[in-house]
Structure 1
Amino acid sequence: MKKRSVLDNIIYILVGFVLFNIIWFVCAELLQLKALPLPLDVYSGFGKALDNDIAGHLSASLSRVCIGLIISLMIAVLLGMSMGYNKKVNRLLGPLLYFTYPIPKLALLPIVMILFGVGESSKIIIIVLIIVFQLILSIRDAVLGIPKDDYGVLISLKASNIDRMRHITFPAILPEILSSLRVSLGIAMSALFFTETFGTDKGLGFYITDSWMRLDYIQMYFGIFTLSLAGFFIFLVLDIVESYTCKWKKL
């Protein structure tokens, strides 16, 4: 059954990739624009992309996103669980969270760059600001949504708070955490592209913008494709993590 499921997922991904390329091919043939090359023309630019150090740009972008995800997750688990477990903490941080959450985080980019410079720190901070608020809210609501009766057995056995978190809380909120990470990932990749157009010569955002400025549309599209592929693989990793850590959901 597990092999069958993996095969179905591979077929599902391949069908989506083929359909995407068919739509792309049809649009390119109909419009006949230099700014919209055929898929095969873009894929044939792989060799030139390697010469342009696309691997180095990909590594820089993945590093920033992964560090941002890890920092956001650590902050969100700490604050979200504190707010979910403690009403006083929730009353204290709740209004601040609701006030700051709707603020467009990209609008804070000039402030972040002034305070932290145009280097790596500002790029990672923006990614964290975009992801962390949604994660905090999701974790807090997930903790609050756990029925009190679920803790009954452990309470009767006089289990410690750590045991309650390990056996009840974490398994219950993990699906919500992973779902929030998926939603946030797309926004984070968009923010990454924007931040990489400032103060750096490494990253897929820089690669795409640089190719566009040089009217090298083949490499521009190859950079976009690579950025999309990076986001897809992180998304896939989250799916794999969920399949192994949330097996109980399939019961």
Structure 2
Amino acid sequence: MGVWWLASLILQKTLLPSPWTVFVNIPSLFQKEMGLHIQVSGYRIFLGMLYALSGGFILGLLMGSLPKWRYFFDPLIYLTYPIPKMALLPIVMLLGGLGDSSKIMMIVLIVLPQVAISVRDAVRQIPENNYDVYRALKANKWQQFCQITLPATLPGVLSGARISLGTAISILFFTENYGTQYGMGYFIMDSWTRMDYPAMYGGILILSSFGLVLFLLLDLLSFWLCKWQRD
């Protein structure tokens, strides 16, 4: 913050307003449509993360438990994951349209492979004798899953979500510049084109705060679900 304030004093240009100017302008943004922009971006992030975490968890379980699934999906993920996801944006927009679907699909493409690999590795690292103990106690498959597999894979799911969340928000920022009039990405770039720099910087700060809230929610979810890791 001090560097920002000092740079604004040195440059003395409208393209870099002082922090005070930006902060004072933020309440006026919420008097317009800022709440709607946050709501739209939050909706896209929530659905994208929900689909990616659910799909990645199921795929990771299958890859970790069944060799045929692993032999098929391992090369596929390793081959396609290094491709820059922005290069796939034209294809995704052609298939999913210009609305919410294409933006959610981009988030899924980023998050799902990381979650699947994390869950796959967690499943493969579970000692087989853990299951032997429960089999000796006549536990069924569902009980073995709830008592062994799920606790072993949950940290991997949440770690994958944390690692991917920042990238997902960045991709959402770019995708919201196409075929939409709402979303934080659209608001920031629209303010830039109109040379409304206080609004642009305010939008960046709000987007950053939005990401911080999401990370804190993931930490809270991890604290609640992974009770055995609190110590």
Structure-1 residue corresponding to 2:122: 142
TM-score by length of 2: 0.95
Q: How does 1:213-228 map to 2 (within 5 A)?
A: 213-228=193-208
CA–CA separation in structure 2 for the residues paired with 1:123 and 1:159: 43
- 1:87 correspondence with 2:67: yes
Give 2:168's aligned residue: 188
User: Shift of residue 177 of structure 1?
Assistant: 1.1
What is the TM-score with the length of structure 1 in the denominator? 0.88
* Secondary structure in 1 matching 2:15: coil
- Note the C-alpha offset of 1:163: 1.1
The count of residues paired between Structure 1 and Structure 2 equals 231
Q: Classify 1:83/1:27 alpha carbon distance in 2 versus 1 (closer, same or farther; 3 Å).
A: same
Residue-by-residue CA offset, 1:178-214 (whole Å, 9 max, x unaligned): 1110110000000010000000000000100110000
The corresponding residue for 1:245 is 225
Alignment-derived partner of residue 207 in structure 1: 187
In structure 2, distance between residues paired with 1:247 and 1:138: 19
Cα separation, 2, equivalents of 1:179 and 1:31: 41
Confirm or deny that 1:168 pairs with 2:148. yes
What is the RMSD computed on CA atoms of the aligned residues?
1.3
Specify the alignment match of 1:127 in structure 2: 107
Q: Which moved more, 1:88-97 or 1:234-243?
A: 88-97
Q: For 2:128 and 2:12, how far apart are their aligned partners in 1?
A: 62
- Unpaired segments of 5 or more residues in structure 1? 1-20
Q: Percent identity?
A: 44
For the residue of structure 2 that corresponds to 1:215, the secondary structure is coil
Q: Hey, what does 1:33 align to over in structure 2?
A: 13
Q: Which amino acid aligns with 1:97?
A: I
| Distance change >3 Å, CA 93–CA 213, structure 1 → 2 | same
Of 53, 72, 75, 2:33 maps to 53
